[in-house]
Amino acid sequence: MAFRDSTVIIIETGRTVVRAGLGLHDLLKTPTVEVSARVGLRKNAFANGADANKSSKAEDPLASTSRASSLPQNGHRNAAVKDYLVGSHLDEALAADPEIAISWPFADGDVRDWVQAEAIWKHVLFTQLQRRRVQNESPVLLAVSPGLSRETHERICQIFFERFNVAGFSILELPVGQIYAANSLSGVVVDIGHEKTDITPIYEGFMVRSARSSTSIGTRDCVNYLAHLLRANQSVMSAISPPDAPLDADAVHSTLCEIVDQVWKEGHVKVPSDGETAVTEDDGVTDIAAVMVAGKERALIESGMKKRATAKASAAEQQRAREIEALDLITIQFKSLSLTLGKERHRFCEPLFDPTLLRGITLNVATTPKSAAEMSLSLQDAVGHSVSQTDVDQRQYIWGGLFVTGDITRYVKGIGVALQSRVAPFIVTPDLQTDVQARVVKVLNVPEYFPEYRDTGNGFAGFLGASIVAKITFNDSGGKNFVSKADYTGKGPRSVIEMAPALL
Protein backbone atom coordinates (compact mmCIF):
# COMPACT_ATOMS: atom_id res chain seq x y z
CA MET A 1 0.00 0.00 0.00
CA ALA A 2 1.04 3.63 -0.48
CA PHE A 3 0.72 6.18 2.30
CA ARG A 4 -0.48 9.75 2.26
CA ASP A 5 2.41 12.20 2.40
CA SER A 6 0.78 14.07 5.26
CA THR A 7 1.06 11.04 7.55
CA VAL A 8 4.74 10.20 6.98
CA ILE A 9 7.11 10.79 9.91
CA ILE A 10 10.85 11.39 9.57
CA ILE A 11 13.08 10.86 12.62
CA GLU A 12 16.81 11.58 12.44
CA THR A 13 18.64 10.02 15.38
CA GLY A 14 22.15 11.36 15.81
CA ARG A 15 24.70 10.92 18.58
CA THR A 16 23.59 14.01 20.51
CA VAL A 17 20.43 15.32 18.84
CA VAL A 18 17.16 13.88 17.51
CA ARG A 19 15.17 15.75 14.83
CA ALA A 20 11.75 14.91 13.50
CA GLY A 21 8.93 16.14 11.32
CA LEU A 22 5.42 15.07 10.33
CA GLY A 23 4.34 15.12 6.71
CA LEU A 24 6.06 15.46 3.35
CA HIS A 25 5.43 18.58 1.28
CA ASP A 26 6.09 19.68 -2.28
CA LEU A 27 8.75 21.99 -0.83
CA LEU A 28 10.48 19.72 1.66
CA LYS A 29 10.40 21.29 5.11
CA THR A 30 13.08 21.52 7.78
CA PRO A 31 12.48 19.50 10.98
CA THR A 32 9.81 20.84 13.33
CA VAL A 33 11.12 18.91 16.34
CA GLU A 34 14.64 19.05 17.69
CA VAL A 35 15.55 17.60 21.12
CA SER A 36 18.81 16.66 22.77
CA ALA A 37 19.37 12.91 22.58
CA ARG A 38 19.61 12.60 26.35
CA VAL A 39 17.41 11.39 29.17
CA GLY A 40 17.35 12.09 32.88
CA LEU A 41 16.56 9.90 35.85
CA ARG A 42 15.91 11.28 39.32
CA LYS A 43 18.49 9.82 41.67
CA ASN A 44 15.84 9.25 44.34
CA ALA A 45 13.46 7.50 41.94
CA PHE A 46 14.32 4.11 43.43
CA ALA A 47 14.88 2.95 46.95
CA ASN A 48 18.49 1.98 46.35
CA GLY A 49 19.88 5.30 45.15
CA ALA A 50 23.38 3.90 44.73
CA ASP A 51 22.22 1.81 41.79
CA ALA A 52 21.00 4.90 39.95
CA ASN A 53 24.53 5.72 38.83
CA LYS A 54 25.34 2.30 37.44
CA SER A 55 25.95 2.19 33.73
CA SER A 56 23.26 0.29 31.90
CA LYS A 57 25.88 -0.99 29.47
CA ALA A 58 26.84 -3.64 32.00
CA GLU A 59 23.21 -4.59 32.60
CA ASP A 60 22.03 -4.95 29.00
CA PRO A 61 24.09 -7.33 26.84
CA LEU A 62 22.66 -5.78 23.68
CA ALA A 63 23.91 -2.30 24.50
CA SER A 64 27.06 -1.48 22.57
CA THR A 65 30.37 -0.50 24.20
CA SER A 66 32.15 0.26 20.93
CA ARG A 67 33.20 3.74 19.76
CA ALA A 68 32.89 4.83 23.38
CA SER A 69 31.88 8.42 24.05
CA SER A 70 32.87 10.50 27.06
CA LEU A 71 29.27 11.70 27.46
CA PRO A 72 27.74 10.19 30.63
CA GLN A 73 25.69 7.04 30.66
CA ASN A 74 23.69 6.25 33.79
CA GLY A 75 20.82 3.88 34.28
CA HIS A 76 18.94 1.63 36.64
CA ARG A 77 18.06 -1.97 35.97
CA ASN A 78 14.49 -1.42 37.18
CA ALA A 79 13.86 1.84 35.34
CA ALA A 80 10.95 1.88 32.90
CA VAL A 81 10.35 4.18 29.94
CA LYS A 82 7.97 6.34 31.98
CA ASP A 83 10.66 6.98 34.61
CA TYR A 84 12.93 8.89 32.22
CA LEU A 85 12.66 12.61 31.59
CA VAL A 86 13.16 13.85 28.02
CA GLY A 87 13.24 17.20 26.21
CA SER A 88 11.64 20.19 27.93
CA HIS A 89 10.53 17.99 30.85
CA LEU A 90 14.19 17.21 31.55
CA ASP A 91 15.24 20.85 31.14
CA GLU A 92 12.63 21.99 33.65
CA ALA A 93 13.58 19.25 36.09
CA LEU A 94 17.27 20.15 35.88
CA ALA A 95 16.49 23.80 36.58
CA ALA A 96 14.70 22.80 39.78
CA ASP A 97 16.88 19.85 40.83
CA PRO A 98 20.40 19.46 39.43
CA GLU A 99 20.70 16.08 41.16
CA ILE A 100 19.45 14.16 38.12
CA ALA A 101 21.48 11.44 36.41
CA ILE A 102 21.93 12.28 32.72
CA SER A 103 22.40 9.66 30.00
CA TRP A 104 23.14 9.89 26.26
CA PRO A 105 21.98 6.53 24.86
CA PHE A 106 23.11 7.18 21.25
CA ALA A 107 26.45 8.86 21.97
CA ASP A 108 28.54 5.85 20.92
CA GLY A 109 26.91 5.75 17.48
CA ASP A 110 25.03 2.64 18.64
CA VAL A 111 22.37 2.07 21.31
CA ARG A 112 23.73 2.06 24.84
CA ASP A 113 20.40 1.49 26.59
CA TRP A 114 17.21 0.32 24.89
CA VAL A 115 14.80 1.63 27.52
CA GLN A 116 16.34 5.10 27.26
CA ALA A 117 16.26 4.99 23.45
CA GLU A 118 12.58 4.04 23.54
CA ALA A 119 11.88 6.90 25.95
CA ILE A 120 13.33 9.43 23.50
CA TRP A 121 11.51 8.05 20.45
CA LYS A 122 8.25 7.83 22.43
CA HIS A 123 8.60 11.48 23.48
CA VAL A 124 9.15 12.54 19.87
CA LEU A 125 6.23 10.53 18.46
CA PHE A 126 3.54 11.01 21.08
CA THR A 127 4.47 14.23 22.92
CA GLN A 128 6.06 16.34 20.21
CA LEU A 129 4.26 15.06 17.09
CA GLN A 130 0.98 14.32 18.90
CA ARG A 131 0.47 10.84 17.42
CA ARG A 132 -1.94 8.38 19.02
CA ARG A 133 -0.73 4.84 19.55
CA VAL A 134 -4.14 3.21 19.22
CA GLN A 135 -4.86 4.78 15.81
CA ASN A 136 -1.35 5.35 14.49
CA GLU A 137 -1.65 5.70 10.71
CA SER A 138 1.87 7.07 10.29
CA PRO A 139 4.73 5.19 8.70
CA VAL A 140 8.17 6.12 10.06
CA LEU A 141 11.49 6.48 8.31
CA LEU A 142 14.24 6.39 10.91
CA ALA A 143 17.68 7.74 9.96
CA VAL A 144 20.38 6.24 12.19
CA SER A 145 24.13 6.19 12.59
CA PRO A 146 25.89 3.79 10.19
CA GLY A 147 27.28 0.40 11.07
CA LEU A 148 24.52 -0.90 13.35
CA SER A 149 24.31 -4.68 13.59
CA ARG A 150 21.50 -6.87 12.22
CA GLU A 151 20.35 -7.50 15.80
CA THR A 152 20.14 -3.76 16.47
CA HIS A 153 18.11 -3.19 13.29
CA GLU A 154 15.72 -5.96 14.29
CA ARG A 155 15.24 -4.67 17.82
CA ILE A 156 14.57 -1.13 16.57
CA CYS A 157 11.98 -2.51 14.16
CA GLN A 158 10.38 -4.46 17.00
CA ILE A 159 10.12 -1.35 19.19
CA PHE A 160 8.45 0.72 16.49
CA PHE A 161 5.86 -1.90 15.59
CA GLU A 162 5.12 -3.42 18.99
CA ARG A 163 5.55 -0.39 21.24
CA PHE A 164 4.57 2.46 18.89
CA ASN A 165 2.16 0.65 16.54
CA VAL A 166 3.50 2.37 13.40
CA ALA A 167 1.80 1.69 10.05
CA GLY A 168 5.08 1.08 8.23
CA PHE A 169 8.79 1.29 8.97
CA SER A 170 12.05 1.88 7.15
CA ILE A 171 15.64 2.50 8.26
CA LEU A 172 18.15 4.73 6.48
CA GLU A 173 21.80 5.10 7.41
CA LEU A 174 22.58 8.79 7.89
CA PRO A 175 25.61 9.21 5.57
CA VAL A 176 23.62 7.85 2.62
CA GLY A 177 20.83 10.34 3.27
CA GLN A 178 23.36 13.14 3.66
CA ILE A 179 25.00 12.47 0.28
CA TYR A 180 21.55 12.24 -1.34
CA ALA A 181 20.78 15.72 0.05
CA ALA A 182 23.82 17.00 -1.88
CA ASN A 183 22.34 15.53 -5.09
CA SER A 184 25.08 12.93 -5.44
CA LEU A 185 25.55 9.17 -5.16
CA SER A 186 29.29 9.15 -4.53
CA GLY A 187 31.50 11.13 -2.21
CA VAL A 188 32.97 11.27 1.28
CA VAL A 189 30.68 12.51 4.07
CA VAL A 190 32.42 14.31 6.92
CA ASP A 191 29.91 14.64 9.77
CA ILE A 192 31.29 16.94 12.49
CA GLY A 193 29.55 16.18 15.76
CA HIS A 194 29.78 17.42 19.33
CA GLU A 195 32.78 15.32 20.33
CA LYS A 196 33.46 13.09 17.31
CA THR A 197 33.66 13.43 13.55
CA ASP A 198 32.43 10.51 11.43
CA ILE A 199 33.96 9.99 7.98
CA THR A 200 32.14 7.79 5.49
CA PRO A 201 33.17 7.19 1.86
CA ILE A 202 30.20 6.37 -0.38
CA TYR A 203 30.28 4.92 -3.88
CA GLU A 204 27.21 4.65 -6.10
CA GLY A 205 24.83 5.01 -3.18
CA PHE A 206 26.49 2.38 -0.97
CA MET A 207 28.79 3.03 1.95
CA VAL A 208 32.30 1.62 1.67
CA ARG A 209 32.05 0.10 5.13
CA SER A 210 35.65 -1.04 5.39
CA ALA A 211 36.81 2.55 4.88
CA ARG A 212 34.59 4.21 7.50
CA SER A 213 36.37 5.93 10.37
CA SER A 214 35.89 8.48 13.11
CA THR A 215 38.16 10.92 14.87
CA SER A 216 37.74 12.04 18.47
CA ILE A 217 37.49 15.73 17.76
CA GLY A 218 34.42 17.86 17.28
CA THR A 219 32.65 21.11 18.01
CA ARG A 220 33.28 20.78 21.74
CA ASP A 221 37.03 20.99 21.13
CA CYS A 222 36.58 24.11 19.00
CA VAL A 223 34.52 25.75 21.75
CA ASN A 224 37.06 24.90 24.44
CA TYR A 225 39.96 26.10 22.27
CA LEU A 226 38.44 29.50 21.53
CA ALA A 227 37.42 29.84 25.19
CA HIS A 228 41.11 29.29 26.03
CA LEU A 229 42.17 31.98 23.51
CA LEU A 230 39.67 34.48 24.91
CA ARG A 231 41.53 34.41 28.23
CA ALA A 232 44.03 36.73 26.51
CA ASN A 233 41.28 39.26 25.76
CA GLN A 234 41.60 41.58 28.75
CA SER A 235 38.37 43.47 28.07
CA VAL A 236 36.36 40.23 28.03
CA MET A 237 38.06 38.85 31.14
CA SER A 238 37.60 42.04 33.14
CA ALA A 239 33.93 42.13 32.14
CA ILE A 240 33.05 38.56 33.15
CA SER A 241 35.39 38.35 36.15
CA PRO A 242 35.96 41.85 37.55
CA PRO A 243 38.71 42.32 40.14
CA ASP A 244 36.18 43.20 42.85
CA ALA A 245 34.14 40.01 42.23
CA PRO A 246 36.38 37.40 40.56
CA LEU A 247 35.03 34.03 39.42
CA ASP A 248 36.72 30.72 40.14
CA ALA A 249 38.50 28.85 37.31
CA ASP A 250 35.57 26.56 36.47
CA ALA A 251 33.08 29.44 36.38
CA VAL A 252 35.38 31.47 34.13
CA HIS A 253 35.75 28.62 31.67
CA SER A 254 32.02 27.86 31.71
CA THR A 255 31.21 31.54 31.03
CA LEU A 256 33.75 31.76 28.22
CA CYS A 257 32.25 28.64 26.62
CA GLU A 258 28.80 30.26 26.76
CA ILE A 259 30.23 33.32 25.00
CA VAL A 260 31.86 31.17 22.33
CA ASP A 261 28.62 29.22 21.77
CA GLN A 262 26.80 32.49 21.20
CA VAL A 263 29.50 33.79 18.84
CA TRP A 264 29.60 30.81 16.49
CA LYS A 265 25.85 30.26 16.52
CA GLU A 266 25.31 33.90 15.55
CA GLY A 267 27.51 33.39 12.48
CA HIS A 268 30.46 35.58 13.53
CA VAL A 269 33.09 32.95 12.65
CA LYS A 270 34.83 32.53 9.29
CA VAL A 271 37.14 29.70 8.27
CA PRO A 272 40.03 30.79 6.05
CA SER A 273 41.34 28.10 3.71
CA ASP A 274 44.99 27.36 2.98
CA GLY A 275 46.11 29.87 0.37
CA GLU A 276 42.73 31.58 0.45
CA THR A 277 42.11 33.56 -2.74
CA ALA A 278 41.21 37.21 -2.64
CA VAL A 279 37.54 38.13 -2.90
CA THR A 280 36.72 39.49 -6.33
CA GLU A 281 35.72 43.11 -6.44
CA ASP A 282 32.13 44.01 -7.19
CA ASP A 283 32.00 45.39 -10.74
CA GLY A 284 28.60 46.97 -10.18
CA VAL A 285 26.69 44.44 -12.29
CA THR A 286 24.16 42.32 -10.40
CA ASP A 287 22.67 39.09 -11.70
CA ILE A 288 19.09 39.70 -10.56
CA ALA A 289 17.90 36.25 -11.66
CA ALA A 290 20.59 34.54 -9.57
CA VAL A 291 19.70 36.69 -6.57
CA MET A 292 15.99 35.81 -6.90
CA VAL A 293 16.70 32.07 -7.21
CA ALA A 294 18.94 32.16 -4.15
CA GLY A 295 16.35 34.09 -2.16
CA LYS A 296 18.85 36.82 -1.26
CA GLU A 297 16.85 39.90 -2.25
CA ARG A 298 16.83 41.32 1.28
CA ALA A 299 20.60 40.91 1.65
CA LEU A 300 21.14 42.70 -1.68
CA ILE A 301 18.93 45.63 -0.64
CA GLU A 302 20.68 45.95 2.74
CA SER A 303 24.10 45.84 1.03
CA GLY A 304 23.07 48.61 -1.37
CA MET A 305 21.80 50.79 1.47
CA LYS A 306 25.07 50.29 3.36
CA LYS A 307 27.12 51.28 0.31
CA ARG A 308 25.06 54.44 -0.21
CA ALA A 309 25.40 55.39 3.47
CA THR A 310 29.17 54.89 3.26
CA ALA A 311 29.40 57.04 0.13
CA LYS A 312 27.66 59.93 1.92
CA ALA A 313 29.94 59.71 4.97
CA SER A 314 32.76 62.19 5.44
CA ALA A 315 36.35 61.28 4.64
CA ALA A 316 37.12 60.91 8.36
CA GLU A 317 34.12 58.61 8.91
CA GLN A 318 35.10 56.51 5.91
CA GLN A 319 38.66 56.23 7.22
CA ARG A 320 37.36 55.14 10.64
CA ALA A 321 35.07 52.57 9.00
CA ARG A 322 38.06 51.15 7.10
CA GLU A 323 40.09 50.92 10.30
CA ILE A 324 37.30 49.07 12.09
CA GLU A 325 36.91 46.73 9.13
CA ALA A 326 40.67 46.04 9.14
CA LEU A 327 40.58 45.24 12.87
CA ASP A 328 37.52 43.02 12.24
CA LEU A 329 35.95 43.90 15.56
CA ILE A 330 32.44 42.91 16.60
CA THR A 331 30.41 43.78 19.66
CA ILE A 332 28.01 41.22 21.09
CA GLN A 333 25.47 41.43 23.88
CA PHE A 334 26.08 38.62 26.35
CA LYS A 335 23.51 38.68 29.13
CA SER A 336 23.87 42.21 30.55
CA LEU A 337 27.40 42.69 29.19
CA SER A 338 28.61 44.33 25.98
CA LEU A 339 31.72 42.46 24.78
CA THR A 340 34.08 43.34 21.94
CA LEU A 341 35.85 40.51 20.11
CA GLY A 342 38.49 40.61 17.41
CA LYS A 343 39.97 38.30 14.82
CA GLU A 344 40.71 35.58 17.37
CA ARG A 345 37.14 34.33 16.87
CA HIS A 346 38.06 33.14 13.36
CA ARG A 347 40.46 30.62 14.94
CA PHE A 348 37.44 28.66 16.20
CA CYS A 349 37.89 25.74 13.78
CA GLU A 350 41.68 25.45 14.01
CA PRO A 351 41.63 22.32 16.23
CA LEU A 352 39.78 20.42 13.49
CA PHE A 353 42.77 20.84 11.18
CA ASP A 354 45.50 20.84 13.83
CA PRO A 355 44.55 18.90 17.00
CA THR A 356 48.02 19.49 18.46
CA LEU A 357 46.80 22.98 19.37
CA LEU A 358 44.81 21.33 22.16
CA ARG A 359 47.91 19.82 23.70
CA GLY A 360 48.63 21.17 27.16
CA ILE A 361 45.42 23.19 27.40
CA THR A 362 43.81 22.89 30.83
CA LEU A 363 40.09 23.49 30.48
CA ASN A 364 39.19 23.60 34.15
CA VAL A 365 40.37 22.27 37.46
CA ALA A 366 38.56 18.94 36.93
CA THR A 367 40.45 18.06 33.74
CA THR A 368 44.08 17.49 32.84
CA PRO A 369 45.80 18.81 29.70
CA LYS A 370 45.69 16.57 26.66
CA SER A 371 48.91 14.68 26.04
CA ALA A 372 50.49 13.81 22.71
CA ALA A 373 49.14 10.25 23.04
CA GLU A 374 45.57 11.56 23.23
CA MET A 375 45.80 13.62 20.06
CA SER A 376 43.44 12.63 17.25
CA LEU A 377 44.18 12.70 13.55
CA SER A 378 43.50 16.02 11.90
CA LEU A 379 40.39 16.17 9.75
CA GLN A 380 42.40 16.19 6.51
CA ASP A 381 44.54 13.21 7.58
CA ALA A 382 41.50 11.23 8.72
CA VAL A 383 39.64 11.91 5.45
CA GLY A 384 42.71 11.13 3.35
CA HIS A 385 43.24 7.86 5.21
CA SER A 386 39.59 6.80 4.83
CA VAL A 387 39.52 7.45 1.08
CA SER A 388 42.85 5.63 0.66
CA GLN A 389 41.14 2.50 2.03
CA THR A 390 38.69 2.40 -0.91
CA ASP A 391 39.38 0.72 -4.26
CA VAL A 392 41.64 2.71 -6.57
CA ASP A 393 39.02 2.92 -9.33
CA GLN A 394 36.45 4.35 -6.87
CA ARG A 395 38.56 7.21 -5.53
CA GLN A 396 38.11 9.72 -8.33
CA TYR A 397 34.34 9.54 -7.84
CA ILE A 398 34.62 9.72 -4.05
CA TRP A 399 36.99 12.71 -4.18
CA GLY A 400 34.49 14.32 -6.53
CA GLY A 401 32.05 14.74 -3.63
CA LEU A 402 33.58 16.13 -0.43
CA PHE A 403 30.53 16.87 1.74
CA VAL A 404 31.00 18.43 5.19
CA THR A 405 27.94 18.39 7.42
CA GLY A 406 27.02 18.59 11.09
CA ASP A 407 25.42 21.26 13.30
CA ILE A 408 28.50 23.45 13.03
CA THR A 409 27.92 23.92 9.28
CA ARG A 410 24.56 25.60 9.96
CA TYR A 411 26.36 28.65 11.31
CA VAL A 412 30.03 28.47 10.30
CA LYS A 413 30.52 28.71 6.55
CA GLY A 414 33.57 27.65 4.61
CA ILE A 415 34.65 24.49 6.44
CA GLY A 416 34.27 22.42 3.26
CA VAL A 417 36.47 24.80 1.24
CA ALA A 418 39.04 24.91 4.05
CA LEU A 419 39.15 21.11 4.12
CA GLN A 420 39.30 20.93 0.32
CA SER A 421 42.55 22.92 0.24
CA ARG A 422 44.06 20.71 2.92
CA VAL A 423 43.21 17.32 1.39
CA ALA A 424 44.56 18.31 -2.05
CA PRO A 425 47.97 16.65 -1.36
CA PHE A 426 46.24 13.28 -0.95
CA ILE A 427 45.27 13.11 -4.63
CA VAL A 428 48.77 13.90 -5.90
CA THR A 429 50.39 10.59 -6.80
CA PRO A 430 53.23 11.15 -9.30
CA ASP A 431 53.92 7.42 -9.60
CA LEU A 432 50.33 6.66 -10.60
CA GLN A 433 49.36 8.38 -13.84
CA THR A 434 46.25 6.50 -14.96
CA ASP A 435 42.72 7.24 -16.08
CA VAL A 436 41.36 6.30 -12.66
CA GLN A 437 43.52 8.73 -10.71
CA ALA A 438 41.61 11.55 -9.04
CA ARG A 439 42.59 14.97 -10.36
CA VAL A 440 40.44 17.31 -8.31
CA VAL A 441 38.55 17.47 -5.02
CA LYS A 442 35.05 18.90 -5.44
CA VAL A 443 33.10 20.36 -2.52
CA LEU A 444 29.38 19.53 -2.35
CA ASN A 445 26.65 21.55 -0.65
CA VAL A 446 22.88 21.30 -0.30
CA PRO A 447 21.54 22.73 -3.60
CA GLU A 448 19.89 26.15 -3.69
CA TYR A 449 16.70 24.68 -5.18
CA PHE A 450 15.65 23.47 -1.71
CA PRO A 451 14.32 26.86 -0.55
CA GLU A 452 13.58 25.82 3.03
CA TYR A 453 17.23 24.80 3.48
CA ARG A 454 18.97 27.85 1.98
CA ASP A 455 19.85 29.39 5.32
CA THR A 456 20.71 26.17 7.15
CA GLY A 457 24.05 25.34 5.54
CA ASN A 458 24.56 21.58 5.39
CA GLY A 459 23.47 21.00 8.98
CA PHE A 460 20.07 19.51 8.12
CA ALA A 461 21.39 17.34 5.28
CA GLY A 462 20.54 14.11 7.09
CA PHE A 463 16.92 15.14 7.59
CA LEU A 464 16.61 16.43 4.01
CA GLY A 465 18.05 13.20 2.59
CA ALA A 466 15.71 11.14 4.77
CA SER A 467 12.75 13.20 3.51
CA ILE A 468 13.76 12.57 -0.10
CA VAL A 469 14.08 8.83 0.54
CA ALA A 470 10.76 8.70 2.44
CA LYS A 471 8.94 10.40 -0.44
CA ILE A 472 10.10 7.64 -2.76
CA THR A 473 9.87 4.76 -0.29
CA PHE A 474 6.33 5.21 1.04
CA ASN A 475 4.81 6.20 -2.32
CA ASP A 476 5.89 2.97 -3.99
CA SER A 477 3.11 0.50 -3.23
CA GLY A 478 4.87 -2.34 -5.04
CA GLY A 479 8.31 -1.70 -3.59
CA LYS A 480 10.12 -3.60 -0.88
CA ASN A 481 11.78 -0.58 0.66
CA PHE A 482 9.80 -0.57 3.88
CA VAL A 483 8.25 -3.05 6.30
CA SER A 484 4.45 -3.04 6.36
CA LYS A 485 2.33 -4.33 9.23
CA ALA A 486 1.55 -7.41 7.17
CA ASP A 487 5.27 -8.04 6.64
CA TYR A 488 5.94 -7.70 10.34
CA THR A 489 3.03 -9.94 11.28
CA GLY A 490 4.28 -12.64 8.93
CA LYS A 491 8.05 -12.48 9.45
CA GLY A 492 8.61 -10.55 12.66
CA PRO A 493 11.57 -8.23 13.33
CA ARG A 494 13.83 -9.93 10.77
CA SER A 495 11.62 -8.51 8.00
CA VAL A 496 13.61 -5.25 8.31
CA ILE A 497 16.75 -7.04 7.12
CA GLU A 498 15.19 -7.87 3.73
CA MET A 499 14.73 -4.18 2.86
CA ALA A 500 18.36 -3.35 3.75
CA PRO A 501 20.61 -4.89 1.05
CA ALA A 502 23.78 -4.03 2.94
CA LEU A 503 22.67 -6.29 5.82
CA LEU A 504 21.85 -9.35 3.76
Q: Does 458 score more than 80 pLDDT?
A: yes
State residue 287's pLDDT score. Answer: 54
Q: What is the pLDDT of residues 415-435, one digit of tens each?
A: 999 999 999 888 876 555 667
Which H helix or E strand runs over 303? helix 297-312
Q: What is the pLDDT of residues 325-367, one digit of tens each?
A: 667 889 999 999 999 999 999 999 999 999 999 987 766 544 5
Residues of the domain holding 211 = 187-217+376-427
Question: Does one domain contain both 166 and 195?
Answer: no
The residue type found at 450 is: F
CATH of residue 147's domain is 3.30.420.40
Please check whether residue 309 lies inside any domain of the structure.
Answer: no
State residue 325's pLDDT score. Answer: 61
Q: Does 314 score more than 80 pLDDT?
A: no
Question: Does one domain contain both 246 and 137?
Answer: no
Question: Does one domain contain both 82 and 192?
Answer: no
Contact 170, 141 (CB under 8 A): yes
Please check whether residue 288 lies inside any domain of the structure.
Answer: no
Please check whether residue 287 lies inside any domain of the structure.
Answer: no
Please check whether residue 136 lies inside any domain of the structure.
Answer: yes
Q: Which stretch of 222-236, 318-332, 363-377 has the lowest confidence by average pLDDT?
A: 363-377
Per the prediction, the chain carries an average pLDDT of 85
State residue 344's pLDDT score. Answer: 92
Please check whether residue 402 lies inside any domain of the structure.
Answer: yes
Domain count within the chain? 3
Contact 145, 151 (CB under 8 A): no
Question: Does one domain contain both 382 and 471?
Answer: no
Question: Does one domain contain both 140 and 18?
Answer: yes
Question: Does one domain contain both 473 and 406?
Answer: no
Could you give the CA distance from residue 12 to residue 87 in angstroms, rounded to a whole number?
15
Give 3-state DSSP helix, strand, coil % of the chain, rounded to 5: 45, 15, 40
State residue 276's pLDDT score. Answer: 42
Could you give the CA distance from residue 504 to residue 483 in angstroms, rounded to a whole number?
15
